[in-house]
Amino acid sequence: MSRQTQGYIAAIAAIALLAIFPVKFGSFSLLSLLHLDVSILSEMLLFAIAAMSVNLLLGYTGQMSFGNAAYFGLGAYGAGLSIHYLNVHFIAATLIGTAAAILGALIIGPFLLRRRGIYFSLLTLAFGQVFYFIAYRANQFTGGEDGMSFPRPYVGFAGWHTNLHEATFYYLMLIVFVAVLTAFWLIVRSPFGRTLQAIRQNELRVRYLGLDTNKFIYVALVVSAAMAGLAGALYGLLIMFAAPLMLDWHQSGDFVMIMILGGAGTIWGPVVGSLIYVIGKDIISTLTQTWQIYIGALFVICVLAFPRGLLGTLLHAIARRDVGAPIVEDTMPHTAWETGTPTGAAAVAVEQKEL
């Protein structure tokens, strides 16, 4: 069985597990430390999507956005405001929230595109704060510092509707999650996705292959914003609340770290990271008031010792075992134009790139 098939099976097993959970376990308690129920799992799935949005930009396109919480928050507020003022139903609220996030990215994208590297990150940070600030200050509309609460409308179309209680909501989240995950997978294996990954490794070379990398990065930005916005809208609908802190750089940082915890540049990394983060936070905050210290310490340790994240480290180890130690190639072949075997035996030292 090839590794790829193994991967598919693992993915399907994970999804199946997530699907069976409410039926089989209802809620799950461990030593009164961990209380796992559909609400927490919903949160986990949504944060995973948010982390996926960062992953698309960073793990695949090589651009570190420290402002994706802004899109997350735009999604939540978009949903909340549309319910509050326009009385829309669930699906419309979700779509409006997502659209708000997309609009945000469309507007600030051209600013961000002028720069790369840490200057790009700085700009995402600053523009993220612009949106935070708007949510904070526009208190007539948004409720200001205290945020705004709103009811969760029913899901309805064609005359049929249903109220979403927690279990139903969870299944809806699971469906959205699988859809987004699949879309993510399709994107990264497409020619577009391969080009994004090439940009991450060597943007200059991509340009010198005739491609306008700005166009690619802009699209990646907008898709990333859409994902984060969708997650935000649904999260707002989950907790029936939208708050300025959802847009703050601390939240952005959390999303980035979730991705790192699981493994940047892998498809399931953000999911694993979200599991670690949401469950870890739950356990730690049950144990102590000062959980932020431990979360911060977790981040620090991860960055220093496990930069590839849990899944990333695992996949890397598997790949190393499959391929063996890096094979060194001899010097250039001397044979003529027909396909030949390399001659010469000088081993060339292989440079391992620092992560």
58 binds other proteins (CB under 8 A): yes
257 binds other proteins (CB under 8 A): yes
Least gap, CB of 220 to other proteins (angstroms): 12
The secondary element (H helix, E strand) that includes residue 341 is: none
194 binds other proteins (CB under 8 A): yes
121 binds other proteins (CB under 8 A): yes
Least gap, CB of 232 to other proteins (angstroms): 20
Which runs of consecutive H residues, i.e. helices, occur in the chain? 3-24, 38-55, 68-86, 90-112, 117-137, 139-142, 166-189, 191-207, 213-239, 249-262, 269-287, 291-305, 309-323
103 binds other proteins (CB under 8 A): no
64 binds other proteins (CB under 8 A): yes
Q: State which of positions 206-225 bind other proteins (CB under 8 A).
A: 206-213, 215-216
Least gap, CB of 162 to other proteins (angstroms): 33
Determine the distance from the C-alpha atom of residue 204 to the mean position of all C-alpha atoms in its chain, rounded to a whole number: 26
Rule CB under 8 A: choose which of 1, 158, 327, 345 binds other proteins: 327
Least gap, CB of 107 to other proteins (angstroms): 10
Least gap, CB of 326 to other proteins (angstroms): 6
Q: What span, in angstroms and rounded, lies between the C-alpha atoms of 66 and 75? A: 17
What are the distances in angstroms from CA 135 to CA 56, 74, 118, 141, 285?
26, 9, 26, 9, 27
191 binds other proteins (CB under 8 A): yes
For residue 107 the two structure tokens come to 């507007």
Rule CB under 8 A: choose which of 17, 106, 186, 287 binds other proteins: 186
Q: What span, in angstroms and rounded, lies between the C-alpha atoms of 176 and 94? A: 11
Q: Which stretch binds other proteins (CB under 8 A): 35-43, 148-156, 225-233, 329-337?
A: 329-337
321 binds other proteins (CB under 8 A): no
115 binds other proteins (CB under 8 A): yes
Backbone angles phi, psi at 162, to 5 degrees: -145, 140
